[in-house]
Amino acid sequence: MDYKKEIVFLNGQYIGREKAWISPDDRGFVFSDGVYEVLSSYNGKVFEAWRHIQRLDGSLSGLNISGFDPADILEISERLIDANNLASLDSIIYIQVTRGAAPRSHAVDQAVMTPTVYACVKRFLRPLRKQKEGVGVILLDDERWARCNIKSVSLLPNILAKQKAADSGHEEAVLVRDGVITEGSASSFAAVFSGTLTTHPESNRILGSITRSVVIDLCKSAGIEVEERPIKKEELAYAEEMMIMSTTKEILPVTAYDSVIVSDGRPGKVTMRLQALLNDYIDDNCSKKA
């Protein structure tokens, strides 16, 4: 996409990126006081919009940010896809809602705040090679706050962990809190034990990942056992398979963690089956004709 011709959404308007300016008093800039969503679209069709709307609703109410209807993200996404000539391609939509701009003060009168809403879209090149070959991860301490279920733009522990992973040649940092695997720095995590997909239960310790929810639903309809329970770090030694999941990664097999090879070092059967089921589900819901 030609960056100079890119159309973005800012506070109700679709405008050229070079015209999109926000106040230096914006609380998103000053305090990270905001939330976001990352959605995908396939063939121009937004994937599982209702799940993202529900999650954004939860994030906004979790931070008591009002004045934006989360249901609007579907129309914003669709209009951005069209405006940027991505209707026949796959794309990733980023939407951020902050509490708005006000002179710096930790507490504000919520009644006078107008949220700042920004959204943009870029072409999504699905990571097909990594999906086929698998990736390596490192384990790091989970240093995040106690409300990880809120998709806050305040991502310092996440980006520091991801940077450590990237600097050491790994795809992702998988986080460990109190001896338990929570999730990746920007993805959810699952392991397979005796054929059962096992993943941390939804709680304030993980983000309610859309991909993870879709995968759990796909397991249930395909007869793959699912167990939502904390996985102890030591248990990883016995895992048959591991995977990380997100909107931008879909499902990536994890073939090594901290230089320990998982099983035979190749993507596992359950992981590959889930990738196929997810592809079919995407085709069914977002085909050119759908």
- Binding residues (CB under 6 A) for ligand PDD: these are 38, 158, 183, 186-188, 207, 209-212, 245-248
State the nearest-atom distance from the C-beta of 155 to ligand PDD, in Å: 7
What is the distance between the alpha carbons of residues 37 and 77, in angstroms, rounded to a whole number? 11
State the nearest-atom distance from the C-beta of 118 to ligand PDD, in Å: 15
Can 19 be counted among the known catalytic residues?
no
- Which among 232, 243, 238, 286 is positioned nearest to 268, based on CA atoms? 243
- Looking at the Cβ atoms of 113 and 124, the one nearer to ligand PDD is 124
- Looking at the Cβ atoms of 53 and 101, the one nearer to ligand PDD is 53
- Which among 191, 178, 186 is positioned nearest to 161, based on CA atoms? 186
What is the distance between the alpha carbons of residues 58 and 51, in angstroms, rounded to a whole number? 11
Single-letter amino acid code for the residue at 197: L
Angle between helices 49-62 and 210-222 (to 10 degrees): 130
Q: Residue written as tokens 């089956």?
A: 273
State the nearest-atom distance from the C-beta of 238 to ligand PDD, in Å: 24
One of 151, 232, 233, 289 is an active-site residue; which one?
151
Identify whether the C-beta of residue 207 lies closer than 8 Å to the C-beta of residue 213: no
Strand pairing class (172-177; 180-184):
antiparallel
- Looking at the Cβ atoms of 9 and 47, the one nearer to ligand PDD is 47
CB within 8 Å of 104: residues ≥ 6 apart: 25, 30
State the nearest-atom distance from the C-beta of 84 to ligand PDD, in Å: 19
- Looking at the Cβ atoms of 77 and 209, the one nearer to ligand PDD is 209
- Looking at the Cβ atoms of 198 and 211, the one nearer to ligand PDD is 211
Residue 222 gets which letter from DSSP? H
State the nearest-atom distance from the C-beta of 105 to ligand PDD, in Å: 28
- Residues annotated catalytic, as ranges: 151
